[in-house]
Amino acid sequence: MVTKKEAAEAVRAAKARLGLTWAQLAEAVGRPVAWTTSALLGQQPMSAAEADAAVALLDLGDDVRQALLLQPTRGALEGAVPTDPTIYRFYEVLQVYGPTLKELIHEEFGDGIMSAINFRFGVERVPDPAGDRVVVTLDGKFLPYQW
Amino acid sequence: MVTKKEAAEAVRAAKARLGLTWAQLAEAVGRPVAWTTSALLGQQPMSAAEADAAVALLDLGDDVRQALLLQPTRGALEGAVPTDPTIYRFYEVLQVYGPTLKELIHEEFGDGIMSAINFRFGVERVPDPAGDRVVVTLDGKFLPYQW
Amino acid sequence: MVTKKEAAEAVRAAKARLGLTWAQLAEAVGRPVAWTTSALLGQQPMSAAEADAAVALLDLGDDVRQALLLQPTRGALEGAVPTDPTIYRFYEVLQVYGPTLKELIHEEFGDGIMSAINFRFGVERVPDPAGDRVVVTLDGKFLPYQW
Amino acid sequence: MVTKKEAAEAVRAAKARLGLTWAQLAEAVGRPVAWTTSALLGQQPMSAAEADAAVALLDLGDDVRQALLLQPTRGALEGAVPTDPTIYRFYEVLQVYGPTLKELIHEEFGDGIMSAINFRFGVERVPDPAGDRVVVTLDGKFLPYQW
Amino acid sequence: MVTKKEAAEAVRAAKARLGLTWAQLAEAVGRPVAWTTSALLGQQPMSAAEADAAVALLDLGDDVRQALLLQPTRGALEGAVPTDPTIYRFYEVLQVYGPTLKELIHEEFGDGIMSAINFRFGVERVPDPAGDRVVVTLDGKFLPYQW
Amino acid sequence: MVTKKEAAEAVRAAKARLGLTWAQLAEAVGRPVAWTTSALLGQQPMSAAEADAAVALLDLGDDVRQALLLQPTRGALEGAVPTDPTIYRFYEVLQVYGPTLKELIHEEFGDGIMSAINFRFGVERVPDPAGDRVVVTLDGKFLPYQW
Amino acid sequence: MVTKKEAAEAVRAAKARLGLTWAQLAEAVGRPVAWTTSALLGQQPMSAAEADAAVALLDLGDDVRQALLLQPTRGALEGAVPTDPTIYRFYEVLQVYGPTLKELIHEEFGDGIMSAINFRFGVERVPDPAGDRVVVTLDGKFLPYQW
Amino acid sequence: MVTKKEAAEAVRAAKARLGLTWAQLAEAVGRPVAWTTSALLGQQPMSAAEADAAVALLDLGDDVRQALLLQPTRGALEGAVPTDPTIYRFYEVLQVYGPTLKELIHEEFGDGIMSAINFRFGVERVPDPAGDRVVVTLDGKFLPYQW
Amino acid sequence: MVTKKEAAEAVRAAKARLGLTWAQLAEAVGRPVAWTTSALLGQQPMSAAEADAAVALLDLGDDVRQALLLQPTRGALEGAVPTDPTIYRFYEVLQVYGPTLKELIHEEFGDGIMSAINFRFGVERVPDPAGDRVVVTLDGKFLPYQW
Amino acid sequence: MVTKKEAAEAVRAAKARLGLTWAQLAEAVGRPVAWTTSALLGQQPMSAAEADAAVALLDLGDDVRQALLLQPTRGALEGAVPTDPTIYRFYEVLQVYGPTLKELIHEEFGDGIMSAINFRFGVERVPDPAGDRVVVTLDGKFLPYQW
């Protein structure tokens, strides 16, 4: 039996071997690229049709397909604080600006949270003469504290 | 001598007492609201003019003004993993989608990071019939690995 | 300026001194007892009317009242694992039955969570000849994963 | 020799392959669904009859059956703080409402705890026009501090 | 308001100043010495009569008396692993013999625990020509796992 | 080469398969049951005769026998705080009563410790109409601080 | 599929077997020695030509070559604090002189950081009659805080 | 009595109030700027003459002077992993390049370390058309492993 | 009431102010210098005569004297891993040579430990033309594992 | 390829099988016993001649020999705090006497450290009618802080 983690490694290896992009995989699967990537990395359960499409394009077997269908136990970081610099910068944003995010949400919406469940995000390149910019848009439903 | 942390508490208390908003403070200071909030919470050094404007509106004294001028030692979370639900959801996004963010940045830009230094962000309310949405835009310069 | 934590200590001391119960405080405040208790312990912001009622019954001053109005940074445990046995047993339930809870939620509802924001709970005594039972009902809206 | 953890993985795989539900497994085993699920996930020792029934329905071998009989070393979380959002929300409840739970138990019962040993729980779907609700009922014997 | 921790320090200081023993305090309080010691160190709530007796013998004031009456949040160690050698040795016993204790309890009683709530203990000196021995007797009700 | 940990797993499996008790193993080995159990779980080195007797009764091979002879690196818990409830209760005793144990040892013996090296313990069932009791006797030589 | 970590071990083994130096490998690869070493240890992705050159000199196979091409998840320490003395001394420098480094950067450049992405370093031997010196030059672009 | 930490805060405040630079303080003290900064931040003991010079220029009192003379217990970070981005980047260098540093030291010098005791460092600005660079030179005596 | 930690700080301050050495204090107290230092730093209880002598020489008051008499809760490090380099080197010895120490003790003495209770140590300067040496002698009674 | 850790296990197994002592191995290798033991446990690189001698006496193969030649990444403890009692006692010495060691080194030598690199140690049995003593002599070059 292949775990979702082993399936993710198999996906990465096949993607590199075949020279595929996450965008191509997303198109084949028929879902947004961020969702598709997270699903292939083991953080979302795929439908049978989605798994079929992914496995076909990646030329992988049924054991990987089975793993992609499973309900994940989510959580993709090795430790509490990520060490990889590309990921760490987002943790640094949280360390430096976390309470600011909280204040601005409460000022605009009142007491509550941005849902991380009813949630989507995207990564975009915004050209800039001083150097192109990575723009990440986090978009979650506001959930007010309701007793 | 007042620390930046004590100054932040004084700011919060005065803001609540006077019924001010972060947006009003930002307007007085003449900087974006997210930057102003983070500066008043102790994560940015203010210029003399910015600190003057903030302290005047908040009716606070020179000791707070001095603290606002200081270079901060940044880091606003009490522990490695935040416990406050409004802040935690951003950590959860990182736990679940961190490697996805990394893959998408590398696919679009190559090996490198989104800067958290040459960086700005904003929080917006996007109306939605199914419930308004919190949209957080993280916007940092791409920095390629360069030896 | 009194913090929410100091206010909570003042509440506990006054409650003990005056021989009040959380139920009496909840009745005065006009909210459920669990919500009222958590608010007086610093985990919810109170409205002005609620704070007035609580402070009047507890014979406390305006500084505590101000603290009760503040938006909290939530998180009430001293460490990641609680040491107090009454609280620890709930952590033990999570340690032993956490994955079971996850399986049963997914089986009944599909992929998603029990909200801890749109959420209420209660504690009840259920008489039992073999020893009365503590019955805690956790009641949160189901939130499906939605991209 | 198959460990209880490996047995749990084999159970999950067989259950997915055969399209079984925890409720069907519980019926076959003749125990409540929450207990049965936790036992099949390795947190309870099964009787020989219970293990026989489970293994028969899951079409698994004697090595899994042996593992299901073993006395477990309990504890099902990978770290002190769970990362999976479905499980984390229960930890968040503890972080925000732990001391409130303690106060309410002491107010109603005096000094003591809700047993996590003489204990059962259930998960229910409660229909609600604003969105169905997950209702978890934790039900443990009160144990007073007795010297 | 005096916390239970501050009360414990006041108790220790008064006990040293007056040359009292825990045994004398227990006799005055009318409870076993181990219970009395733990209560005066802040781990048990005392009845009014018990607190009166202790405070009278220790020549302490009403603020300490109030603190002794309070329901404690239990947990007396500074960190997860104690550093004091006298306390550490008990942790070492747990590190070396914890699984053995578990096996012997299950062999004799079946699946369950020694209660730490319905529980008492004592410390005794047992003369021995090769050096007197510390004999600690932990005595808790067996609680079987019962669903 | 079989490690002591693998040998312990082999012992548990053989003991379950053959329906043996720790008491029977102790009798065969000729040592107290608590010592024998801890040795077979990898926390004591056995003599050749002891290992021979254990391996014979358990019907295990020479590789396990070799492992039982080895000097152990002691420490049987997976983390600093045990998660298994049967073991955790002893940690809870330490959390709640650790400083009390220290006080009582110092009152009776002066500055020093209960040895965990010159040490033995036992687990006993004491019948009680209100429910039988687990009585654990920890018995270690007193070691005074001596420069 | 060979991971970057396994590839690093294969590189070390081959390098030792063949008596190669990092300098020779760097020359073959055509990049600075520090970069080449970090890439062969799994912390940089190599181009196809670089991986070809390295693998040829080290007499390793295509699986290692594939691994050298992969984008790494960076982070080379086993724990938060390194235990190896040669590496620890750099952590000690950070522990003792971290805030000094920060002050001197801010004094010279204003608020900002030394980039660890647009970054290079070298290790040099500087002869000294009192004992040769290790001189490590860390050289990163200054990045000012820019909103 | 003023601790070295309190003295460091007093130094920072006076330096800001008087508009002094670390370079000016170093000149007055007669030591390199990096050493002087670390000493005034509490990580080195100063001689009487050095403390006199610093205190005179900073217009501080004898209590600060006394503190500057004390032997420090070194270690300037709040936690194991620094949160301030300016300091964190050096930790990141260690995370990514630590083993590379080790390899290069061993290749050049054999088995041993760069001393962090017989050690000095400096921070320099190196102009660069693509953005000025922070160049940190760590310079420690090589110490070979010698039994 | 002065704690042992506050007393230790008072001792250090007075010692510095009066220009005393630990050796002089030890002579006055009439105990070995290592013991006396550890006692004055709060890790040993002093007898009345010892405390009298120390307090007289240090010109300190009765509150410090009272603190010196108290039974300590031992443990002098701020965290699990010391950050001060002078202390860290001993931790490094343990990290690198801990299992070697264990092997050599078992080879010479059999299964058991070097007591840290029946224990003394000393620090000596041993002249050496290549640089004088710090020689620390740890001297503890061997305690065999005895059931 | 055999790692140094696997080599250490092979050494221990062969040593037990052949009934060799560390002293015999040290004699064969021609180095002090403490050094030889630490090298065979993977904490020192051996020369070819030393590895040859060790492997010959232990009757092990070339893969172990290769591993003994490798430069180690040092650090022999499983966690920050050792659990094995024989090793823990040295950690306890550090916990209780660490600051005393620091004071005595500074008093005798001035500001600096005992080197753990230019370092040797030995373990000796010292007969004593009250029980033989373990005497560990740590002997490192004094390194003064030198800028």
Q: What is the pLDDT of residues E38-81, one digit of tens each?
A: 999 999 999 999 999 999 999 999 999 999 999 999 999 989 99
Q: State the average pLDDT for chain I.
A: 97
Cβ-contact E22, F104 below 8 angstroms: yes
Determine whether the interchain pair D31/E147 forms a contact, defined as Cβ–Cβ distance below 8 Å.
yes
CB contact under 8 A, H16 and B69: yes
If you search the block for the tokens 């002893």, which residue do you land on? F90
Q: What is the pLDDT of residues C93-123, one digit of tens each?
A: 999 999 999 999 999 999 999 999 999 999 9
Task: Indicate which residue of G12, G74, G103, G115 is catalytic.
Answer: G115
Q: Tell me the three-class secondary structure of chain D, residue by residue.
A: CCCHHHHHHHHHHHHHHHCCCHHHHHHHHCCCHHHHHHHHCCCCCCCHHHHHHHHHHHCCCHHHHHHHHCCCCCCCCCCCCCCCHHHHHHHHHHHHHHHHHHHHHHHHHCCEEEEEEEEEEEEEEECCCCCCEEEEEEEEEEEECEC
Under an 8 A CB cutoff, do C69 and B16 touch? yes
What pLDDT score does J143 carry?
98
Kindly tell me the burial class for residue H49, based on how many C-beta atoms sit within 10 Å of its own C-beta (0-12, 13-18, 19 or more): exposed
pLDDT higher than threshold 90 for residue J1: no
Q: At CA D110, angle to CA D107 and CA D113, rounded to 5?
A: 100
CA distance D116 to D35: 13
Q: For chain G, give the longest Cα–Cα distance.
A: 52
pLDDT-above-90 percentage for chain J: 99
J47, with CB counted inside 10 A (0-12, 13-18, 19+), is middle
* Under 8 Å between Cβ of D112 and D99: no
Active-site annotation holder among I12, I17, I74, I89: I89
Report how far residue E117's alpha carbon sits from residue E143's, in angstroms, rounded to the nearest whole number. 11
- C74 assigned to active site: no
pLDDT at F122 over 90: yes
Question: Smallest Cα–Cα separation from D126: which of C94, C137, C146, C97?
Answer: C137
I9 in J contact zone (CB under 8 Å)? no
The closest CB to that of G85, out of J66, J70, J117, belongs to J117
Mean pLDDT for all residues in chain B: 97
Q: How much is the average pLDDT of H94-120?
A: 98
Identify the burial level of G78 via C-beta atoms within 10 angstroms of its C-beta, where 0-12 means exposed, 13-18 middle and 19 or more buried: exposed
**C82 neighbourhood in chain E, CB within 8 Å:** 75
Res H70 pLDDT > 90? yes
pLDDT band at D87 (very low <50, low <70, confident <90, very high): very high
Tell me the two tokens of residue H29: 């003290």
- Residues E44, E31: Cα–Cα separation, whole Å: 12
Question: pLDDT at residue C63 above 90?
Answer: yes
- Judged by CB atoms closer than 8 Å, whether chains meet at I111 and F147 is answered as no
Residue D73: pLDDT band (50, 70, 90) is very high
- pLDDT band for E133, please (50, 70, 90 cuts): very high
pLDDT, tens digit, for every residue of F41-89? 999 999 999 999 999 999 999 999 999 999 999 999 989 999 999 999 9
Can you say whether residue E59 is alpha, beta or left, with left for phi > 0 and alpha for psi between -120 and 50 degrees?
Answer: left
Is G115 marked active-site? yes
Number of C-beta neighbours around residue G79 at 10 A: 12
The alpha carbon of residue B87 is apart from the nearest alpha carbon of chain H, in Å, by: 17
Cβ atoms of C11 and C46 within 8 Å: the answer is: no
Best C18, C84, C93 member to test E by mutation, with max E CBs in 10 Å, is: C84
Task: Report percent pLDDT > 70 for chain F.
Answer: 100
Strand-pairing partners, residue H124, are H135
If we measure between CA atoms, which residue out of H20, A97, I68, A27 comes closest to residue B140?
A97
ipTM > 0.95 (yes/no): yes
Decide if C103 is catalytic: no
Is residue E9 less than 8 Å (CB to CB) from chain I?
Answer: yes
What is the torsional sign of CA E107, F21, E98, E134?
positive
Listed as own residue / partner, the contacts of C58-64 with beta carbons closer than 8 Å and 24 or more positions apart are: C58/C10, C58/C11, C58/C14, C58/C15, C58/C18, C58/C20, C58/C25, C59/C14, C59/C18, C60/C10, C60/C11, C60/C14, C63/C1, C63/C2, C63/C7, C64/C2, C64/C7, C64/C10, C64/C11
J97-143 pLDDT, tens digit each = 999 999 999 999 999 999 999 999 999 999 999 999 999 999 999 99
CA–CA dist F94, F80 (Å, integer): 13
DSSP B146: B
Q: Which of E12, E17, E74, E89 is catalytic?
A: E89
What chain B residue is nearest to D90 in terms of C-alpha separation?
B85
Contact between E84 and I74 using a beta-carbon 8 Å cutoff: yes
In chain J, the percentage of residues whose pLDDT exceeds 70 is 100
Please answer whether residues B11 and B41 qualify as being in contact, where contact means their C-beta atoms are separated by less than 8 angstroms: yes
Q: What is the pLDDT of residue J127?
A: 98
Counting residues of chain H whose pLDDT is more than 90, the rounded percentage is 99
pLDDT per position as a tens digit, F92-115: 999 999 999 999 999 999 999 999
Contacts of residue D111 in chain E, CB cutoff 8 Å?
44-45, 71
Mean pLDDT (chain H, rounded): 97
User: Closest approach of chain C CAs to the CA of F99, in angstroms?
Assistant: 15
User: Measured between alpha carbons, how far is D107 from C144 in angstroms, rounded to an integer?
Assistant: 36
Q: Which residue ranges of chain G lie beneath pLDDT 50?
A: none
- What's chain E's average pLDDT? 97
- Top residue of G40, G97, G139 to mutate, by most chain H CBs within 10 Å, is G97
Contact G138 H90 (CB under 8 A): yes
Asked if C136's CB is within 8 angstroms of D130's CB, the reply is no
> Which domains can be identified in chain I, with CATH numbers?
4-69 (1.10.260.40), 85-144 (3.30.1160.10)
pLDDT band at D46 (very low <50, low <70, confident <90, very high): very high
Encode pLDDT of J45-67 as tens digits. Answer: 999 999 999 999 999 999 999 99
In this predicted structure, the answer to whether residue E16 has a pLDDT above a threshold of 90 is yes
User: How far apart (Å, rounded) are the C-alpha atoms in residues C44 and J56?
Assistant: 72
Q: Is-contact A136 B107, C-beta < 8 A?
A: no
CA separation for the pair C2, B132 (Å, rounded): 34
Whether the Cβ atoms of residue F139 and residue E137 lie closer than 8 Å to each other: no
User: Which residues in chain D have their CB less than 8 angstroms from residue F86's CB?
Assistant: 74
Rg (CA), chain F: 18
The average pLDDT across C129-142 equals: 98
Mean pLDDT of B97-110: 97
Instruction: Check whether D1 has a pLDDT greater than 90.
Output: no
Q: What are the distances in angstroms from CA D143 to CA A54, D105, I114?
A: 54, 11, 43
Nearest to D75 by CA among E91, F85, F41: F85
Q: Is A95 in contact with H83 (Cβ distance < 8 A)?
A: yes
pLDDT at A1 over 90: no
User: Does residue D116 contact residue C86 with C-beta atoms inside 8 Å?
Assistant: no
Which residues of chain H have a CB within 8 Å of the CB of G134? 105, 108-109, 114, 138-142
Query: What average pLDDT does range E106-129 have in this prediction?
Result: 98
State whether residue A116 sits within 8 Å of chain D by CB. Answer: yes
* Closest among J139, G12, J112, G53 to H106, alpha carbons compared: G12
Q: What's the CA gap between B147 and G44, in Å, rounded?
A: 11
Residue E83 sits at the chain I interface (C-beta within 8 Å) = yes
Sheet containing C112-126: order of strands:
C112-126, C133-144, D133-144, D112-126
For the beta sheet containing G133-144, the strands, ordered from the edge strand earlier in sequence to the opposite edge, are: G112-126, G133-144, H133-144, H112-126
Is residue H1 pLDDT above 90, yes or no? no
Reported as a pLDDT band with limits 50, 70 and 90, residue D80 is: very high
- Looking at residue B1, its pLDDT comes to 78
Half-sphere exposure of H98 (CA within 13 A, CB side): 30
**Residue among C67, J57, J93 at smallest CA distance from I118:** J93
Contact flag D133-C113 (C-beta cutoff 8 Å): no
The answer to whether the Cβ–Cβ distance between J117 and H119 falls below 8 Å is no
Say whether pLDDT at F1 is over 90: no
Query: What does the pLDDT read at residue D27?
Result: 98
pLDDT at residue I43 is higher than 90: yes
Q: Å from A27 to nearest chain H CA?
A: 35
**Sorting pLDDT into bands at 50, 70 and 90, what band is D71?**
very high
Q: Does H36 touch chain G (CB under 8 A)?
A: no
Residue of E25, E43, E86 to mutate, testing the F interface (most F Cβ within 10 Å of its Cβ): E86
Residues pairing with A104 in the sheet: none
Residue-level pLDDT at I1: 78
What are the pLDDT digits (tens) for I51-80?
999 999 999 999 999 999 999 999 999 899
How far is residue J131's CA from residue J139's CA, in Å, rounded to a whole number?
Answer: 25
Coil, strand or helix: which one is C1?
coil
Kindly calculate the radius of gyration of chain G based on its CA atoms and give it in whole angstroms.
18
Digit-coded pLDDT (tens) for B33-45? 999 999 999 999 9
Name E123's bridge partners.
E136
> How are the residues of chain H apportioned to helix, strand and coil, as percentages rounded to the nearest 5?
50, 20, 30
Task: Express each pLDDT in A12-54 by its tens digit.
Answer: 999 999 999 999 999 999 999 999 999 999 999 999 999 999 9
Band of pLDDT at residue E1, cut at 50, 70 and 90: confident
DSSP secondary-structure letter at H112?
Answer: E
